[in-house]
Amino acid sequence: MVDPEVFDFWVRHLNPAWSWSRPLATIVERRVEARDTVTLVLKPNRHVGDFLAGQHVNVSAEVNGRRVTRSYSLTNVPSQGRSRRLSITVKRVEGGALSTHLVQQARVGDVLGIGPAFGEMTLPPQPQGRWLFLAAGSGITPLMGLTRALAAQRMPVDLTLLYWVKTHAELCFLQELRALSTRFPRMRLQVIVTHEAASVPGEAQGLISASQLAELVPKLSEHQVFACGPGGFVVTARELCAERCQAFIAEGFTPAAPSGIAGARGNGVDVNANANVEAEAHAHASTVRVTLQRTGRELRLSTGLSLLEALEAEGLNPPSGCRMGVCHSCVCPRVEGTTQDMQSGETQSEANMAVRLCVSRACSDLTLDI
Ligand SMILES: Cc1cc2nc3c(=O)[nH]c(=O)nc-3n(C[C@H](O)[C@H](O)[C@H](O)COP(=O)(O)OP(=O)(O)OC[C@H]3O[C@@H](n4cnc5c(N)ncnc54)[C@H](O)[C@@H]3O)c2cc1C
Ligand code: FES
């Protein structure tokens, strides 16, 4: 009887987190976690789905009149019922649209859009054995969620957490991590600073390397490794560990390359292959005609950009999230034409196949079902 859009419009005046069907969450707490980094505790409405420790969600907010969506890892242990909460920890990226908004402008009472949880870096039903967490910078966030979940199970594994930060001012969750490693003898915490001298006894220094890992984790071959951080860190961690440990699972946070090409880093993607695809695409960039089937609109888009970036450059705002090919929010059917997957370098021309706009570029005139 009631149009959901109309319902949402009117009900928003009573409570901005009420909606007919949209998953929304209200900021109920804001804590400064470290320099340029805040934790936001969110109270979800009933449309927000469940999540597992180690997963991420796409968070949206209006920034300068435009809806912006990015992925953030959930750092708390999942809970149920009316007291259910989500927490995210956001580090401000210089010039970054959403991170700057969330760290500097967002306040208690603000309402954010929340997408479904995604990500494979989760706990097995019965965690056991020796685990090694490798966290760099804001890559600590999903690993913090997993550490808290393991602590809630009274630490069923031998856990070593190596945590790299550029400077001490960037360290997040330090007190809690130290308290957990004191409470659980099976947990060991090692902080490593890369752009400052180590100043606390027991701290290590320097970028991740084979010799550093050999010193800090003598029995690497007995460990399952979980790595998270910027793309370059994840690639190095993979090179150093993947062939020498029991299992290796990693997630990279690095977004689209500054060159303007979406380059997924980590997540099992060969970063050198990406770089080659990007360089090739740039060297031979031209424009093609892209038809948006639903509106009939025709655009000329560069073949040197991901389709997502090219559409955004034309003022469009297609759904997106991670911008790295992981969350699938930007998937849309390619009705006809040829695209290249910028992660694998593969070209695809089959009609009516789904493409991820953030990691695909146009190779010919295209029709997209948007
Ligand atoms: C699965 C996943 C989980 C994530 N979880 C977290 C999290 O828990 N906490 C968190 O703080 N971030 C996390 N991120 C990164 C986050 O999604 C955004 O990319 C980041 O907050 C920047 O968004 P922005 O809108 O501020 O920057 P944008 O406006 O997208 O970018 C502005 C400029 O900054 C550069 N840039 C963007 N992100 C970074 C970065 N991370 N490091 C260096 N330069 C960058 C871009 O290339 C661009 O030039 C995660 C990313 C992924 C893919
Ligand atoms: S935005 Fe996440 S897969 Fe494209």
pLDDT digits over 184-223, tens only?
A: 999 999 999 999 998 888 899 999 999 999 999 999 999 9
Ligand 2 neighbourhood includes 149 CB (under 6 angstroms): no
Identify the CATH number of the domain defined by range 4-114.
Answer: 2.40.30.10
* Average pLDDT across the chain, whole number: 90
Task: Look at residue 268 and tell me whether its pLDDT is greater than 90.
Answer: no
Quick check: pTM over 0.95? Answer: no
Residue 72: strand pairing partners: 57
pLDDT of 256 reads: 37
- CATH fold for the domain made of 130-252: Rossmann fold (3.40.50)
pLDDT of 188 reads: 98
Instruction: Phi first, then psi: give them for residue 279, nearest 5 degrees.
Output: -60, -45
Evaluate whether 84 touches 353 at the Cβ level (below 8 Å). Answer: no
Cβ neighbours around 85 below 10 Å, total: 16
DSSP 118: B
Stretch(es) of the chain classified as CATH 3.40.50.80: 130-252
Task: Look at residue 114 and tell me whether its pLDDT is greater than 50.
Answer: yes
pLDDT of 343 reads: 87
Evaluate whether 114 touches 47 at the Cβ level (below 8 Å). Answer: no
pLDDT of 254 reads: 76
- Say how far apart CA 299 and CA 287 lie, in whole Å: 10
Task: Look at residue 26 and tell me whether its pLDDT is greater than 80.
Answer: yes
Which pLDDT tens digit goes with each residue over 28-84? Answer: 999 999 999 999 999 999 999 999 999 999 999 999 999 999 999 999 999 888 889
Residue 85: strand pairing partners: none
Evaluate whether 265 touches 237 at the Cβ level (below 8 Å). Answer: no
Evaluate whether 259 touches 278 at the Cβ level (below 8 Å). Answer: yes
Element of type H or E holding 271: helix 271-283
DSSP 35: T
Which pLDDT tens digit goes with each residue over 276-305? Answer: 666 666 667 789 999 999 999 999 999 999
Closest atom of ligand 1 to CA, residue 70:
17
Residue 347: strand pairing partners: 340
Contacts with 222 (C-beta within 8 Å, 6 or more apart), sequence order: 129, 130, 245, 246
41 SS3 class: strand
Stretch(es) of the chain classified as CATH 3.10.20.30: 281-368
pLDDT of 351 reads: 92
pLDDT of 267 reads: 42
Q: Band the pLDDT of 320: cuts 50, 70, 90.
A: very high
The pocket around ligand 1, CB under 6 angstroms, is made up of 56, 68, 70-73, 88-91, 93, 95-100, 138, 141, 251, 253, 255-256, 258, 322, 324, 326
Percent of the chain at pLDDT > 90 equals 79
Nearest CA among 50, 46, 36 for reference residue 15: 46
Which ligand approaches the C-alpha of residue 143 most closely? 1
Task: Look at residue 137 and tell me whether its pLDDT is greater than 50.
Answer: yes
| Ligand 1 atom 6, closest CA | 72
Please compute the mean of the pLDDT values over residues 90-101 and round it to a whole number.
96
Ligand 2 neighbourhood includes 319 CB (under 6 angstroms): no
Identify the CATH number of the domain defined by range 281-368.
Answer: 3.10.20.30
Mutate to test the pocket of ligand 2, among 60, 330, 360, 370 (most ligand atoms within 8 A of CB): 330
- Say how far apart CA 56 and CA 363 lie, in whole Å: 32
- Say how far apart CA 56 and CA 54 lie, in whole Å: 7
Ligand 2 neighbourhood includes 265 CB (under 6 angstroms): no
Q: Band the pLDDT of 263: cuts 50, 70, 90.
A: very low
Please compute the mean of the pLDDT values over residues 126-134 and round it to a whole number.
97
Instruction: Phi first, then psi: give them for residue 89, nearest 5 degrees.
Output: -125, 120
